[in-house]
Structure 1
Amino acid sequence: GHLLGAAGAVEAVVGVLAIRDQVAPPTINYHHPDPECDLDYVPNTARKMPIRMVMSNSFGFGGHNATILMRALD
């Protein structure tokens, strides 16, 4: 199912936890990377790494879109 209006809130919580715990959540079932794309997708397993800021994009039905940036406080 789809969380509909709650999806952005859940993603924001995951982003805050990533900053707090310094762990990047994995991209699940990513087994065949494109050799022409050199981005680090953190495939299949979460990874401990320094995380100071996260961006959450929410794209809703009917064109309702929002983006929020969250960062660690110093």
Structure 2
Amino acid sequence: RAMQMALREAGAPAGAVQYVQYHGTSTQLNDRIESRAVRLAFGDHAYRLCGSSVKSMIGHPQGASGAAGVAVCLLGMRDGMVPPTINLETPDPDCDLDYVPNAARPLQIEVAVANCIAFGSKNSALCLRRPG
């Protein structure tokens, strides 16, 4: 629901999103739930999205998770690339989306979503759009 609310508040249709910065803790339960939530929020478009988790590179920044995710989205937009999810070797079959494994990918990101998940189902998402 958080992703759908973020898209609605930004006035961005789900089909306009190109990149998702996953909360992505590399834990089986959380990654399965987040992947399912993305499939529910984006429908078939979920399979056309690029997504990654900065935590694969820096570890879990705890209270700074949201800020780190937003920073990664903004840097990707600025630099025209999608950062990778490093060390992704054998994805869980229930996590069947494009997690940009192990190498950055060029992409001019116009619309991105950053997810942040906390204990007790305190979920948030922010939709970022390139100005113009």
Does the alignment reach a TM-score above 0.5?
A: yes
- Runs of at least 5 residues in structure 2 that lack an aligned partner in the other structure: 1-58
Identity across aligned pairs (percent)? 46
Compute the RMSD of aligned alpha carbons. Answer: 2.3
Q: Which has the larger radius of gyration?
A: 1
Q: Which structure has the highest helix share of the two?
A: 2
5+ long unaligned stretches in structure 1: none
Hey, what does 1:24 align to over in structure 2?
Answer: 82
Task: Give the TM-score normalised by structure 1.
Answer: 0.79
Q: How many residues align?
A: 73
Structure with higher strand content = 1
Q: 1:41 to 1:63 in 2, by over 3 A?
A: closer
Name the structure 2 match of 1:3: 61
The answer to whether the aligner puts 1:43 opposite 2:101 as a matched pair is yes
The normalised TM-score by structure 2 is: 0.48
Runs of 4+ in 1 over 4 A off after TM superposition: none
